[in-house]
Amino acid sequence: MNVIEARGLTKVYDGRAVVRDFAMTVAAGDIYGFVGKNGAGKSTVMKMICGDALPTAGEVVLFESDRASAGDGEPEDGGVRRIGVLIEEPGLLVNLSAYRNLMAKALAWGIVDGPARCEEVLRLVGLSSVGNKKVRGFSLGMKQRLGLAMALLGSPDVLLLDEPFNGLDPEATRAMRNLIVRVNETLGITVVVSSHVLDQLDRMATRYGVIADGRMVREMTAEEVAAECRSSLRVRTENPARALALLEEAYPALAFKAEPDGALVVAGDYDDGAISRLLARSGEVVRELSQDHRDLEEYFVELMEGGAQYV
């Protein structure tokens, strides 16, 4: 089931479209890595999904039932209550304890059995031992985890987390990442997490969406991203045309590209040793045989900068 579907989503601020004809699909169970540069429109999209901002045009369908479309006026709750949100500052009252912050929200939301639920989410995010301490003394990482506890309070089916690693040190970043994976795996909560910390997304995202200039550049699975980033093999021989013919004949499942300098770039599930032996056996003089690895960051920067082909 798709838990979020955005279609033709557009948001205009002060006469400027900051999100344009935007499409996004998040399936149940995903950890959806939402990638984009500063100002690309990530927060605005997330606000439209959770009902904090109304779209100027287009619609967001939650849990496959219609909710917010342009010009609806006040959004109805067609699923918004099933979304937990951590966007920007968690809005904590620093003179109150973590527990009291949670209780204030539990009361405002009319959450049944508030005290037990607050204890439960504190335990979930690893803050039980400091639940009665004032938030004023919390580190940024603890505040972010409390923000996550607030988002979890209403037992959501989906979490929207906007830049949850911002400003966190490596240990707090790891704790936050582990927490996100745990709520996804053990509670079955679908998570949309925006971040430009790509190596963190790389360790948890099951799908990705890349936004540039307010538009969706591409959505893809983690496997598709891994395939794009897989190593390629660069082969330079004395007689490139003959080498290409030999390799194409021997390995029909691989992809070959001829570079302007005569080198062949081999992509796919290749065995570099076998290729080297084949060329040597056939009398081809190999001048270069090297692996070329495209890293994730490089790939996403390419997508964000070259994003001419929008979906």
Ligand X SMILES: Nc1ncnc2c1ncn2[C@@H]1O[C@H](COP(=O)(O)OP(=O)(O)OP(=O)(O)O)[C@@H](O)[C@H]1O
Q: Applying CB under 6 A, which residues contact ligand X?
A: 13-14, 18, 36, 38-44
Instruction: State which residue, 40 or 235, has the beta carbon closest to ligand X.
Output: 40
Instruction: State which residue, 43 or 200, has the beta carbon closest to ligand X.
Output: 43
CB atoms within 10 A of CB 85: 24
> In the bound complex, what is the minimum distance in angstroms from residue 52's beta carbon to ligand X?
10
Bridge partner list, 282: none
> In the bound complex, what is the minimum distance in angstroms from residue 17's beta carbon to ligand X?
9
Contact 281, 183 (CB under 8 A): no
Q: Phi-psi bin for 276: left (phi > 0), alpha (psi -120 to 50), beta?
A: alpha
> In the bound complex, what is the minimum distance in angstroms from residue 308's beta carbon to ligand X?
19
In sequence order, the 6+-apart residues with CB closer than 8 A to the CB of 132 are 97, 98, 99
Instruction: State which residue, 163 or 202, has the beta carbon closest to ligand X.
Output: 163
Helix (H) or strand (E) holding 74: none
* Residue whose C-alpha is closest to residue 22's, from 52, 43, 1: 43
Contact 22, 10 (CB under 8 A): yes
Q: What are 305's two structure tokens?
A: 């900068």
Instruction: State which residue, 14 or 89, has the beta carbon closest to ligand X.
Output: 14
> In the bound complex, what is the minimum distance in angstroms from residue 35's beta carbon to ligand X?
10
- In angstroms, rounded to a whole number, what is the distance separating the alpha carbons of residues 55 and 63? 18
> In the bound complex, what is the minimum distance in angstroms from residue 56's beta carbon to ligand X?
12
Instruction: State which residue, 39 or 91, has the beta carbon closest to ligand X.
Output: 39
> In the bound complex, what is the minimum distance in angstroms from residue 265's beta carbon to ligand X?
34
Instruction: State which residue, 44 or 237, has the beta carbon closest to ligand X.
Output: 44
Instruction: State which residue, 47 or 117, has the beta carbon closest to ligand X.
Output: 47
Bridge partner list, 234: 265, 290
DSSP result, 131-177: TTSBGGG--HHHHHHHHHHHHHTT--SEEEEESTTTT--HHHHHHHH
Residue 304 identity (one-letter amino acid): M
Instruction: State which residue, 131 or 307, has the beta carbon closest to ligand X.
Output: 307
> In the bound complex, what is the minimum distance in angstroms from residue 81's beta carbon to ligand X?
23
DSSP result, 294-310: --HHHHHHHHHHSTTS-
> In the bound complex, what is the minimum distance in angstroms from residue 199's beta carbon to ligand X?
17
Contact 106, 153 (CB under 8 A): yes
